[in-house]
Structure 1
Amino acid sequence: MKATGARPRMPLQQVRIAESIAAELRARILNADEGAVLPKQDEIVAEFQVSYPSVREALRILETEGLITVRRGNLGGSQVRRPDAGSAAYSLGLALQAARVQLSDLSDAVVRLEPMCAAMCVENADQDKVLPKLRQNIEETRALLDDEPQFLMKAREFHDLLVTSAGNKTTELMVRSLVALWSSQEEAVEETMAAHGETHTRENREAVIDAHAKIVARMEAGDAAGAERAVRRHNEAVRDLYISRVDGNEIVDAASARARRSFQSLV
């Protein structure tokens, strides 16, 4: 049966050629330095000794994967877009939303995974460089007690410092992605609160600072398990506060402009 209005199929051999070209170009993009550019179509045709349709199909594959942006016209070309933490987080967020993952599920993952990063920080040989940054963040957060929007932004930076200092790039990418998505859900709640003239109490904000200070104290003592427990207790308290204001069965929203901003901040 022929699909009405379907895109014409390429010959099987041509598809395989396009996939081979795309595989080679993909490897170059991923291994290239920042700012690298892709050769023009004429150059790719000459290098691989293939037809223009095969090259165009290879570029279409890479464009679909988000690795390049193809600009049409006389001044066109292929602009390389190397994957980064922001694009990875966005893809993960969309996958979670498409899978109908609920806010309660996402928050539970953050509550379980982020504390592990605190323990890894304690075990990290570079923790002496991490602790001054965390202490400084606490003091900067304390100075913003009466400026709720700025306070919340600075308080979230504390958690990002914990995750990025874990000393494991794979853990960092995965947990930062989830934390960024959860943070955007928190911001949605805060916007709703602000629209109704509601704010977090000063007592709530002071409790955040106190919790962060306890986490750092455990880290300074070299107590990895204690630091992990302190982060877990703090995250559970924050989760319960936000989940109490929304329907925990609500589906995560990774496609909103708010979520995109949160992902882009990871770069």
Structure 2
Amino acid sequence: MPKPADAPKVEGEKVKLQKRHLVQAAADRLRDLILAAEPDTQIGSLNEVARELGVGIVTVQQAARILEHEGLLEVRRGPGGGYYGKRPDEAALERSIAAYIRVHPAAFKEVSEIVSLLDCELIPAAARCTDEVLRAALRGLAARVETSDTAQARIALEQELHNTLYKMVNRPLIELLTRVTSQLQRSQPAPPLFSGPEGVAAWKAGRSRILQAVLAQDEELARFEAVRYRQGLIARLRRLRGEGPAAV
């Protein structure tokens, strides 16, 4: 039991927690109102939104700041002003997810596993693409694999490969998550997963098999090769961490 002298402090913390919950609940309800309406629709004035949500105007203002940061709300002042719903652009979504990841740091191993897992969905879907311009770009990348002997060349090819896959596949959420996690992966000190003659040969073989499967428009083979590449990558990550052979 807290001492009598501690009671006001405990009570104050409880009140702060209740206020945070109230603001978060108001933000959730306001978000639902915004997403239920067309973009650029007026949701209401400050007082109207407060009445709609059944909370005070200070709570609404605090909730509105959360949604402004998410790119879902615009506050307009003057005649015709009020709260207007918006839709965040891709850059805003990427910033939000990147910020979350930085608040909850992920190790290089975890990020690499996420990127490779997303690739297991992105790569098979690309096999269904019939756009000849994009397929020609992929053939160009396939031709460069064998000459990518430096780490810089392999990193550049990986970036171009993913940018091409994004265009070949209409999977916005997978693209968004892959972009953010790939950027985070590149920003971290990277252990030499594919170093030395054996590592470079393994990278070349894995990427060549994946590219050929996509170009053959063989979705099942593309999935198989993506999963096989991921298993090999996880095995290398575990060996680097001294965890022994990976269970694949």
* TM-score, structure 2 normalization: 0.58
Identity %: 11
State whether residues 123 and 165 of structure 2, in contact with CA within 8 Å, keep that contact through their aligned partners in structure 1.
yes
Q: CA deviation at 1:27?
A: 4.3
Which structure's relative contact order is higher, taking Cα pairs within 8 Å and 6+ residues apart?
Answer: 1
User: Is 1:91 the counterpart of 2:100 in the alignment?
Assistant: yes
What's 1:122 paired with? 127
Q: CA deviation at 1:107?
A: 5.4
State whether residues 124 and 220 of structure 2, in contact with CA within 8 Å, keep that contact through their aligned partners in structure 1.
yes
State whether residues 44 and 55 of structure 1, in contact with CA within 8 Å, keep that contact through their aligned partners in structure 2.
no
User: Is 1:132 the counterpart of 2:159 in the alignment?
Assistant: no
Cα 1:4–1:176 change in 2 (3 A) is same
SS at match of 2:217: coil
* Greater helix content: 2
What's 1:246 paired with? 241
What's 2:224 paired with? 229
Q: CA RMSD in A?
A: 5.1
Bigger CA radius of gyration: 2
Instruction: Supply the distance in 1 between the matched residues of 2:27 and 2:196 (Cα, whole angstroms).
Output: 58
Cα 1:236–1:153 change in 2 (3 A) is farther
Instruction: Supply the distance in 1 between the matched residues of 2:157 and 2:128 (Cα, whole angstroms).
Output: 25
The within-5 A match list for 1:1-267 is 3-6=10-13, 23-24=29-30, 27-28=33-34, 44-45=45-46, 47-48=48-49, 54-64=56-66, 66-67=69-70, 82=88, 84-88=93-97, 90-91=99-100, 110-124=115-129, 126-138=130-142, 145-146=149-150, 148-149=151-152, 151-159=154-162, 161-162=164-165, 165-174=168-177, 183-184=185-186, 187-190=188-191, 200-201=195-196, 204-205=199-200, 207-246=202-241
5+ residue gaps, structure 2: 1-6, 73-82
**What is the aligned residue count?**
220
State whether residues 146 and 204 of structure 2, in contact with CA within 8 Å, keep that contact through their aligned partners in structure 1.
yes
State whether residues 211 and 230 of structure 1, in contact with CA within 8 Å, keep that contact through their aligned partners in structure 2.
yes
Instruction: Supply the distance in 1 between the matched residues of 2:214 and 2:234 (Cα, whole angstroms).
Output: 23
5+ residue gaps, structure 1: 70-77, 250-267
Instruction: Supply the distance in 1 between the matched residues of 2:112 and 2:101 (Cα, whole angstroms).
Output: 15
Cα 1:223–1:25 change in 2 (3 A) is closer
* TM-score, structure 1 normalization: 0.55
